[in-house]
Amino acid sequence: MELLHSKILGEGKPFIILHGFLGMSDNWKTLGSQYAENGFQVHLVDQRNHGKSFHSPDFDYELLSQDAINYMDHHGIDSAYVLGHSMGGKTAMQLATSHPERVEKLIVADIAPKFYPPHHDFIFNGLSKLNFDEISNRREADEELAKHIQDMGIRMFLLKNLYWVEQGKLGFRFNFDVLKDKMSEIGENIAPTAIYEGPTLFLRGDRSEYIMPNDYPELKRHFPNSEIETIDKASHWLHAENPKQFFEKSLRFLNS
């Protein structure tokens, strides 16, 4: 059994944070430190095929959920608060509905339990143009990626995944080939009968279309003890675009 890589911050009630698609635990380092300062033992986890965790050709939400259970078992965590963003939110929902006794409270950031059609083609098309036999530094990688992805924020997010495979040779930490092949899995809905009755907070960006008002009945059906809060001046990367409000609303829920 392979275990997920993580960074553990602070002492207190275990709080597991699951990043989004093509992200990594480092994306949550600043917020994670703030939670740790407020009495939580924060586990910033790299999901399989991401960050420093293991690579595998198998990739779906049941497996990602089981990875989290294996991680909790290894660290002696009977139950934890769990926060997941985007793909990590789907993992967190799968974890909570499959193993409700392991989740004290659930926070889902800007994702609904519904199916989302694949929509990352433009990202993989851009990433596929990066020839690391010719690109020798991050600036050159950004210049090439900018030809295909105009949004600087998305490029910076993606380029955090670059690392030195060997001296003078860059590469991606995420498993490019498997994630490109499994894009349809990323958008999968959770099972129609899946229910988690524990306290749940959905956080949505006011500029995001991932959670819309017509999704609210489905959120309540799967998570009957849930509330929905909106983060102002934020799109899908709400935790990075308005971290102050994200932290305040999530901490209030955790401490309630």
Q: Which residues are catalytic?
A: 86, 177, 236
HSE value, Cβ hemisphere, 13 Å, CA-based, for 77: 24
How many whole angstroms from its chain centre is CA 59? 14
Please, what's the b/e burial string for 76-99 (b: 16 or more CB within 10 A of its CB; e: otherwise)? Answer: ebebbbbbbbbbbbbbbbbbbbbb
SS3 content of the chain, % helix, strand, coil (to 5): 40, 20, 40
Are the beta carbons of 48 and 55 closer than 8 angstroms?
A: yes
End-to-end CA, the chain: 36
HSE value, Cβ hemisphere, 13 Å, CA-based, for 157: 20
Q: What tokens does 63 get? A: 């497996």
Angle (nearest 5°) at CA 233 between 231 and 236? 70
Q: What tokens does 225 get? A: 């003890």
Residue type at 44? L
Sign of CA dihedral 244, 249, 253, 256: positive
